[in-house]
Amino acid sequence: MADSVALDPVDLHILRLLQNDARTTYRDLAAQVGVAPSTCLDRVTRLRRSGVILGHQLRLDPARLGRGLQALLSVQVRPHRRDLVVPFVERIRALPEALSLFHLTGPDDFLVHVAVAGPAELQRLVLDAFTARREVARVETRLIFQQWECGPLLPPDAAADVPRDAVGESW
């Protein structure tokens, strides 16, 4: 497990703001945090070098790309051995439908988040890419109705001081 990094209130404020909008300019970020732009740049650089900030991601809307149905696939691999797990992971990561893959403890070995065009495509994916594999013992499929982003992610001590914003949507 990686060692945690000591973060002061300015670092935490920078992280909160960048998690909400990673495209914020250093000038705007510095003004919101109350430090000079050069100080802000130095702090963000330090957060990157220390591994706290891993990078920036482009988020796409799967539905706008013709993949409007999302599901979580719980997968058991038997036997659960490294010589089967490593190629399985490589195969799943190469699937264009796969959004994320988790290796788990418990009754399921993997959880795969997928996005497909519709039910027929999901069925094809489960049958051809999963259950057709000799090492796959079981697949359970759960459709995703709606998804929300959470956060910001902060160290445990700092997270208690952050008020949660209103979600803005009701059930």
- The string of pLDDT tens digits covering residues 94-146 is 999 999 999 999 999 999 999 999 999 999 999 999 999 999 999 999 999 99
Per-residue model confidence (pLDDT) at position 68: 97
Lowest mean pLDDT, pick from 84-98, 129-143, 147-161: 147-161
Per-residue model confidence (pLDDT) at position 168: 44
pTM for this structure?
0.81
Per-residue model confidence (pLDDT) at position 137: 96
Q: Considering the domain 9-58 in this protein, what is its CATH number?
A: 1.10.10.10
Residue with more model confidence, 76 or 158: 76
Instruction: Please give the Cα distance from 102 to 104 (Å, whole number).
Output: 6
- The ranges of the chain annotated as CATH 1.10.10.10 are 9-58
Residue with more model confidence, 118 or 161: 118
Residue with more model confidence, 165 or 65: 65
Q: Considering the domain 62-144 in this protein, what is its CATH number?
A: 3.30.70.920
